[in-house]
Chains A and B, each alone.
Chain A
Amino acid sequence: MSDRARDIDTLYRQRPRSRFLRGSGWLAAGLVAAGWLGGGFLGDPGWTPRRAENLTRFLGEVVPYPLQGEPWDWTVAVGWAREIWNERLAAATLETLAISVLAILLAGMLGGLLAPWATRSFARPDPFVPDPRPAGPARRAAWNLLVVVVRVVLALLRAIPEYVWAFLLLALFGPTAWPLVLALALHNAGILGKLTADMVENLERSTLAALRGLGAGRGAVALAGIVPLSMNRFLLYLFYRWETCVREATVLGMLGMVSLGYWIRDARARNHYDEMVLAMLCGATLVIVGDLVSAMLRELVRRA
């Protein structure tokens, strides 16, 4: 074996290896395999005559109503779409946007208020500067407990999908827009709260320690130190989550309230698939516009 071959061999043997990662790879492969084998997907009957018939019927009904069975005519199609847009979809699109905006603002407030109490460097007897007289074990345990409780609450908020939140809140508030707004706000508050808490834990300590060392209380350190240091990144998270809010706001309406989702469900119930697809296209356009606006806003924040 030449020297070079031996070197390569040695390097190969010394490559970083982790049993955990290897196990994770096998676990992931196993989950996918088990999913395909055990989920009943392979027993799918495939292309049956009934499905072909179903698909043909569907494709026939997706064509705008005045054009079904007629030759295609753009002016008629545009006129049909404009009429439905003016009648209900324009208002519904704006409502969808409003739901997402209000939801992300509420989520930001709730997440921002909860985040400091989930931050280990802040929620402790001696934030940022070690106390020469260490606090008693009872006080330290109380602060630790607070951090754990707030983190569990945040995990609970984000683990429950928006749709489930909206479903539960609908029973509580009745059919106004509040269940949708609150569902989005709660789920995203869980995400924003955790992201913000992790970010504050990783902030550079020197400024905060200096403030604390000058005798600032917890509130003053938060307002004069943490808020200015972390706000730009918080805004980045906010706009990034707003994109998903726009996406979800459409769908939540399918529970039977305002927003585009209401008209999607309504058209689906009446088997008017042409209107259903039109409403979905409005939603998709809103999502794409939202993505572009959010990307612009994030670029603005990054430059600031």
Chain B
Amino acid sequence: MGAEHAVTVRGRGPLAIRPAVALVLVLAGAWSVWALELAPSALWPGREGLVLAGEFFGRALSPSLTREGVDIPAGTPPLLLTALRAAALTVAFAAAAMLPSVIGGLLLGLGASSAWWSADRDRGRSGRVTWTSRVRVAVGPAVSACCRLLAAALRSVHELLWAVLFLAALGITPLAAVAAIALPYAGTLAKVFGEMIDEAPRPAAGALRELGAAPVVVLAFGLLPRALPDMTAYALYRFECGLRSAAVLGFFGFPTLGYYIAASFENLYYGEVWTYLYVLLALVAAVDWWSGRVRERLVA
């Protein structure tokens, strides 16, 4: 009690309301405004911008249910059908990309975690040192570092930049979109999975190991079950992000929702833009709700 009290008195309250931290944040903001040569006056959109904003946001409550425009070629599918198809393809891209991302993330994440070698290192004195455990202790730290580095490299390149690379190297194909999402997502999942496996409680794994269980068994029945709820919840969150990424890939020519948002906006069919936006919103909200319920049951 006494020690706790002393700490509270000595600490000067939360970091964020200390003048020095506030000053740093203000200076950072001032530097960015200066570096970008931003005039606050440019925030006033001007007459044309205002008219456009009025027209665009004026349609927010009246999205189109049928196609806008005068000469609609015969055989054009109805707007809502196009929207549904684009939504289905957005989901398909995101869901398909989750498979390689989760597999890659699991493998890289396991490699990046210290769970498969740190126990061998800490237990040198207990006597049961086999040559495999010696190998694990010897290569473990290096392998983990390599896996972490690879994961960092994968996720440091944005999915849209991967898409640009694949488009330049291979041309437009749906598989390029899946790969573009899957590569950085595997990197992100590897980082988070690795941390979750490392932070999962270890007693069960230790007990299994003392009983002489093989490392694979320790991993599968001692470590992974403790980390799995968090990992599942996070994978679902990444699926929600994947939906947004898949939609945005439409701006690069894939026929997902972003493709139609861009096309309708450039044709000044603002009602259609809102239709597509609301469909995207519904998708994201549905997955958000789903992952929230799953998280409640798994993590709580």
Given A39-B96, A176-B38, A280-B161, A21 contacting B277 (CB threshold 8 A): no
- Of the listed residues B16, B33, B45, B245, the one surrounded by the most CB atoms of chain A closer than 10 A to its CB is B16
Asked if B31 and A276 sit within 8 Å, CB to CB, the answer is no
Asked if A99 and B161 sit within 8 Å, CB to CB, the answer is no
A207 to nearest B CB, angstroms?
Answer: 12
A7 to nearest B CB, angstroms?
Answer: 18
B contact residues, range: 35 or more
Task: Write out the residue numbers on chain A whose beta carbons fall within 8 Å of the beta carbon of B244.
Answer: 159, 161
A30 to nearest B CB, angstroms?
Answer: 9
Q: Is A296 an interface position by the 8 A CB rule?
A: no
A interface with B by C-beta (< 8 Å): 18, 20-21, 24, 27-28, 31-32, 34-36, 38-41, 44, 50-51, 54-55, 58-59, 94-95, 97-99, 101-102, 105, 155-156, 159-161, 163-164, 167-168, 171-174, 176-178, 181, 227-229, 231-232, 234-235, 247-248, 250-251, 254, 258, 264, 268, 273, 276-277, 280, 283-285, 287-288, 291, 300-301, 304
In the bound assembly, the distance between CA atoms of A291 and B89 in angstroms comes to: 32
Q: Is B74 an interface position by the 8 A CB rule?
A: no
Cβ-closest 10 pairs across A and B: A35-B95, A231-B16, A39-B92, A35-B96, A98-B32, A102-B32, A98-B35, A304-B15, A284-B156, A35-B92
Task: Write out the residue numbers on chain A whose beta carbons fall within 8 Å of the beta carbon of B32.
Answer: 97-99, 101-102, 105
18 A/B residue pairs, CB under 8 Å, sorted by A = A20-B294, A21-B294, A35-B98, A98-B32, A98-B33, A105-B29, A156-B281, A159-B244, A160-B277, A161-B244, A173-B43, A173-B45, A227-B14, A232-B14, A234-B16, A247-B158, A251-B161, A254-B160
Asked if B96 and A163 sit within 8 Å, CB to CB, the answer is no
Q: Please, what's the 1-or-0 string for B23-67, where 1 marks a CB less than 8 Å from any CB in chain A? A: 001001101110111100011011001001100100000000000
Task: Write out the residue numbers on chain A whose beta carbons fall within 8 Å of the beta carbon of B155.
Answer: 287
- Total inter-chain residue pairs, C-beta < 8 Å: 201
Asked if B29 and A24 sit within 8 Å, CB to CB, the answer is no
Task: Write out the residue numbers on chain A whose beta carbons fall within 8 Å of the beta carbon of B157.
Answer: 280, 283-284, 287
Given A161-B244, A228-B17, A280-B161, A58 contacting B265 (CB threshold 8 A): no
B interface with A by C-beta (< 8 Å): 11, 13-17, 25, 28-29, 31-33, 35-38, 42-43, 45-46, 49, 52-53, 56, 88-89, 91-96, 98-99, 152-153, 155-158, 160-161, 164-165, 168-171, 173-175, 178, 236, 244-245, 247-248, 251, 258, 261-262, 265, 277, 280-281, 284-285, 288, 290, 293-294, 297-298
